[in-house]
Amino acid sequence: MRIVIIGVVVAALAVAGITAGLIQNYLAGQRGGEPVVAEVKTAGVIKILVASRDLPAGTVIGANEFAWSDWPEGKAKDGFFGEGDGVLEGLNGKVIRRGIGVGEPLTRGRIFTPGEGSHMAGILRAGMRAISISVDPVAGVSGFVSPGDKVDLFLYHVKETRQNEGARKRDRYAEPVLVNVPVLGVDQTVDDMGGDASLSKTVTLEVTPKQAEVVAVAREMGKLTLALHSLAQPAKSLYVGNYTADKELSRALGGRGAFRNANVVKEKPKIRKKPVIRAKRPTRRRSTVNVYRATEKETLVFSGKVP
């Protein structure tokens, strides 16, 4: 009995092996002996040019500045460079107008041809002007102002007046001249991707034609100082007052020194109620007079204010 069971099991295993071999041969014949690989195509994706490294303004485009990258077709803009013959070769020798970060798409508005003008002329927006001012390490924010930053321009000047006795009086003032002005270059550098500090003597600003006139006059009036804006975008803050005078700062000149504790919230002074003084009412005096008529007596009463 035991031998019969063993024989049945061996026969079943043999049949299973033969069946598996037949199925494998059949499938191999259907595939032609080659493994089947399913091709997966991603729909809605195109290839565009992106920067392969940080490209600051003024960079001359070479052979390895850009690479092809997949991009969602629905988010592609008209100014992007799509895949095609001769696209990379056509960009050689052109100049970056505004800095492009690594992985950022290249657009036609970010490049220009050197023959169209200088690097600075290519960086300028349409209708704008470039004007330079001289700064020292203090006025230039210790060299931390870089191309692409936004700054405020302050003017410090002295006003002289003649007193009655002939003596001259000098009053000092500081006031904002321009606010939120883009920086195009520092000295001869137009690299707007660098973050290192370097002491500079000249800063070039992008201004409107009228603002260029303002800067030209301000340079002759006194000393110019820059104030650097933060990269964060807080609530818009405006300068208080038209200017700041020396009298407002120094108590020695008669000022109150109101700016020393500018960040301290001042408590409103408590208003003391004045005591109410009521006028005394005048006292009245009563007088009596007895009048006798024959045998009759009559009492008369008189009242009046005390003198």
Q: Where are the domains of the chain?
A: 45-122, 128-231+241-249
Residue 50's closest CA among 68, 28, 32?
68
Given this model, what pLDDT does residue 201 score?
79
Residue type, 98: R
d(CA 114, CA 61): 11
Q: For residue 74, is pLDDT > 70?
A: yes
User: What are the residues facing 161 on neighbouring strands?
Assistant: 169
Given this model, what pLDDT does residue 17 score?
65
Q: By mean pLDDT, which of 63-72, 178-187, 200-209, 254-263 is the weakest?
A: 254-263
| CA torsion angle 151 152 153 156 (round to 10) | -130
Q: What average pLDDT does range 250-267 have in this prediction? A: 63
Given this model, what pLDDT does residue 35 score?
44
Burial class (CB in 10 A: 0-12, 13-18, 19+), 7: exposed
Given this model, what pLDDT does residue 214 score?
94
Given this model, what pLDDT does residue 78 score?
79
Given this model, what pLDDT does residue 154 score?
93
Given this model, what pLDDT does residue 156 score?
93
Which pLDDT band, with edges at 50, 70 and 90, does 30 fall under? Answer: low
Q: What average pLDDT does range 254-265 have in this prediction? A: 60
d(CA 296, CA 204): 119
Q: What is the pLDDT of residues 144-198, one digit of tens each?
A: 788 888 899 999 999 888 877 777 888 899 999 999 999 888 875 555 555 555 5
Neighbours of 167 (CB within 10 A): 8
User: What are the residues facing 178 on neighbouring strands?
Assistant: 153
87 CB-side CA count, 13 A: 17
Given this model, what pLDDT does residue 75 score?
77
d(CA 133, CA 201): 8
Given this model, what pLDDT does residue 124 score?
79
Q: For residue 43, is pLDDT > 90?
A: no
Q: What average pLDDT does range 79-107 have in this prediction? A: 82
Architecture of the structural domain at 45-122: Alpha-Beta Complex (3.90)
Q: For residue 235, is pLDDT > 60?
A: no
